[in-house]
Amino acid sequence: MGTLKNVLAKEKPIPLLLTLVWIAACSVALYLLQQSVTSFVGLIFSVLFIYYTNTNKWIQVFLGGFVLFGLIPLLAYDNSYYMEVATNIGIYVAMALGLNIVVGFAGLLDLGYIAFFAAGAYAYGIFATAQANHFIPGDLFPLSGEWFWAFLVVGLLVAAIFGILLGLPVLRVKGDYLAIVTLGFGEIIRIIFNNLDKPINITNGPQGITSINAPQIWGEPFSDAFHFYFIVLVVILLIVFANIRLEHSKLGRAWIAIREDELAAQSMGISLLKTKLAAFATGASFAGVVGVIFAAKQTFIDPTSFTLMESFSILVMVILGGSGSIPGVILGATFVTLLQVQILKELSNYLHELSQAGILYLPSQLDPSKLQRMVFGILLVVAALYRPNGLIPAKRRKENMESIKNHAQVEQRQGILAKLTGRNRVG
């Protein structure tokens, strides 16, 4: 446990040779054993190893790009399931990075984040099908898949507007009240989409929207998991770049100031409402972009895709990985998504095989695939006990924790010295 903590704190970086051996071993295993889930998971987590490798930044960037843009697509090309898993991981990573701006940078607990994801998905889904013909005359729809690229921007703007409209009344409350109100607004948006099939059929209600056009470039469709993997990967890189720029910008410092102490931030001339609205709108815009990708990839959306549980899942990713930490959030999203779509599913299949062979009795209530929420709860409790700032804490939070520990040690030494000398401690 201590060694893992040292690695995560970058006190004991991983040797470059060990990282290269790990990548090579996982690649060879995945090439020879096409159905090896362990090898695929190991190859994905090699990106984390690269982050902790004892080498310069540009070599890390090269190795990370080589794994993400080269090895994973090459080795998983013939296995659509692996590409599907990798794409789903990317979607949740992008979502978690968006929520990290609201929760991690600005310190605002948003439990209705999935509403912005839904706004982007429906924005594309309505106009990329004949659904829009129900309320716009002229039989102009569906739009072709080439409009997908423009709708990435449209989804961004629509979700940002939703963020501002929701933020104006919501951000006047704080703390637990903010969490409760955002939770309510998230559900209200889902219910609105569920009921917008009458008197004018805009969203097709609970039946959802089907046959959504896939992206196209010059008439060539981008409809399979292989293409969506690269689309999601490029979007993640842009979101990471935006996160880094925002974190070190004047606005980012204002968010962090509000997170640490609203009263002090206000006394320094920071407008609380405008700064919080900027956080809501920025985080929402990223969710809107991902929503457009999700709608195009699934070719079907309905209100059940945007439940409260999805908001909780994304929040778990942020908290588990490290609120305010970009690499931490990426790790948290990757781990939780793999847990949902891969690990628990494989464990469930294995236990069912044992049950059918008469080796083990497995009640349906104990099926691992049905215990996701309980597993998330256990993860959060364990993280709160052993890694309260997340698997990879934000640098500022880590420095603050170190200063608190150092201060406590100084206080303890002063107390011991006072007892030995018979003098009162200073201060």
DSSP letter string over 339-369?
Answer: IIIIIHHHHHHHHHHHHHTTS----GGG-GG
Last residue of a domain, one of 60, 78, 96: 78
Q: What is the pLDDT of residue 403?
A: 45
Least confident of 270-274, 291-295, 375-379: 375-379
High-pLDDT (> 70) share of the chain, %: 89
Higher pLDDT, 223 or 296: 296
CA dihedral sign of residues 238, 149, 300, 35: negative
Instruction: Flag whether 3 is in a domain.
Output: no
- Same domain for 35 and 165, yes or no, is no
- Same domain for 270 and 290, yes or no, is yes
What is the number of other CB atoms lying within 10 angstroms of the CB of residue 198?
8
- Same domain for 60 and 194, yes or no, is no
Higher pLDDT, 404 or 424: 424
Tell me the CB-side half-sphere exposure of residue 244, using CA atoms within 13 A: 6
The yes-or-no verdict on residue 158 having pLDDT over 80 is yes
**Nearest to residue 257, comparing CAs of 244, 272, 243?**
272
Q: Is the peptide bond before 142 cis (omega within 30 degrees of 0)?
A: yes
Please give the residue range of the domain that contains residue 316: 87-410
Give how many domains the chain has, as a whole number: 2
Q: What is the pLDDT of residues 82-97, one digit of tens each?
A: 888 899 999 999 999 9
Give the pLDDT band (50/70/90) at residue 176: confident
Instruction: Flag whether 179 is in a domain.
Output: yes
Q: What is the pLDDT of residue 191?
A: 93
The yes-or-no verdict on residue 422 having pLDDT over 80 is no
Least confident of 5-19, 52-66, 239-253: 5-19
- Same domain for 36 and 139, yes or no, is no
C-alpha 141: how far from chain center:
33
- Mean pLDDT calculated for residue range 300-317: 90
Instruction: Flag whether 261 is in a domain.
Output: yes
Structure tokens at 129: 């099908």
Give the pLDDT band (50/70/90) at residue 394: confident
Q: Which residue is associated with the tokens 């990708």?
A: 293
Last residue of a domain, one of 78, 107, 131: 78
Q: What is the pLDDT of residue 99?
A: 94
Instruction: Flag whether 384 is in a domain.
Output: yes
Instruction: Flag whether 427 is in a domain.
Output: no
- Same domain for 74 and 182, yes or no, is no
**Nearest to residue 10, comparing CAs of 322, 327, 392?**
392
Q: What is the pLDDT of residue 400?
A: 47
Q: What is the pLDDT of residue 419?
A: 53
Q: Domain of 114: which CATH number? A: 1.10.3470
Q: What is the pLDDT of residue 396?
A: 63
Higher pLDDT, 354 or 6: 354
Higher pLDDT, 135 or 400: 135
Higher pLDDT, 408 or 353: 353
Q: What is the pLDDT of residue 301?
A: 93
Q: What is the pLDDT of residue 6?
A: 53
The yes-or-no verdict on residue 357 having pLDDT over 80 is no
CA distance 423 to 246: 50
- Same domain for 131 and 15, yes or no, is no
- Let me know: does 129 contact 212? Beta carbons within 8 Å: yes
Q: What is the pLDDT of residue 76?
A: 82
Q: What is the pLDDT of residue 254?
A: 92
Tell me the CB-side half-sphere exposure of residue 396, using CA atoms within 13 A: 14
- Same domain for 271 and 288, yes or no, is yes
- Same domain for 269 and 383, yes or no, is yes
Instruction: Flag whether 426 is in a domain.
Output: no
The yes-or-no verdict on residue 406 having pLDDT over 60 is no
Least confident of 51-55, 169-173, 189-193, 423-427: 423-427
- Mean pLDDT calculated for residue range 42-64: 88
Q: What is the pLDDT of residue 381?
A: 87
Structure tokens at 117: 């994801």
- Same domain for 181 and 122, yes or no, is yes
- Same domain for 72 and 98, yes or no, is no
Average pLDDT, rounded, for the chain: 84
Instruction: Flag whether 421 is in a domain.
Output: no
Q: What is the pLDDT of residue 367?
A: 76
Higher pLDDT, 338 or 353: 338
Q: What is the pLDDT of residue 3?
A: 53
Last residue of a domain, one of 78, 100, 134: 78
CA distance 337 to 230: 18
- Same domain for 99 and 21, yes or no, is no
- Mean pLDDT calculated for residue range 290-316: 91
- Same domain for 73 and 92, yes or no, is no
- Mean pLDDT calculated for residue range 315-335: 91
Higher pLDDT, 225 or 1: 225
Higher pLDDT, 5 or 408: 5
Residue type, 112: G
Residue 218 has φ and ψ, to the nearest 5°, of 50, 40
Instruction: Flag whether 417 is in a domain.
Output: no
